[in-house]
Structure 1
Amino acid sequence: MDSTFPKKLWIALTRPFVVTAYKLRNAKRDRKNLPYVWKTPGQMLSLDLSYYEAESEDFELNKSFVDDLIPARDAALSRTNKLTVFNLIVLATLAADFFRSG
């Protein structure tokens, strides 16, 4: 019997634990660098806008400008949802036609 067999067996048995510990340690280190910040979407928008610096006097990005974009966003989301439902209906029809018996 080869003397490397017990070493290879020990490595094979302990490798998952060592790799898991390494990944957990790296994740913990990353959480310290980039901690979770739990905020509402409005609070996140306010934080983002507070870091904004205007490049020229012609255009200013502020909360009222972003609030003006909300109706367009909602309209686009509504249209996307309608198209998704339509696509699912077409897919279901084609699938039923493909798998029908007889």
Structure 2
Amino acid sequence: MIKIRLFCAAGMSTSVLVNKMKKAAEAKGIEVDIEAFSENTMAKNLDGVDVALLGPQVGYTLPKAKKICGEKGVPVDVIPMVDYGMMNGEKVLALALKLAEKK
């Protein structure tokens, strides 16, 4: 089971992407636990997390996110704007899985 957390401005638009990522994982037979949260709640939503991803609208917080995630050993990156805009669950899932391998 791979635990992925997405963080964005309010956690709303990202919920659509979460569902698409879950469908992509199911199609590949990968067990995932994916949820979206507001970026300002990151510190309290990282327990047991394998990967954290930031929505492009909060990409400017990456340095702060790297510090918070680094303390818990969680890899973090920003979702590419194109993949987020297209709600490409498959590509975002691939990014998360690639980051998880580095953990």
TM band (smaller chain): under 0.3
After TM superposition, the score normalised by the length of structure 1 is: 0.19
Indicate the structure (1 or 2) with the bigger Cα radius of gyration.
Answer: 1
Q: Which protein is richer in helix relative to its size?
A: 1
Name the TM-score, length of structure 2 as normaliser.
0.19
Relative contact order (C-alpha < 8 Å, sep 6+): which is higher? 2
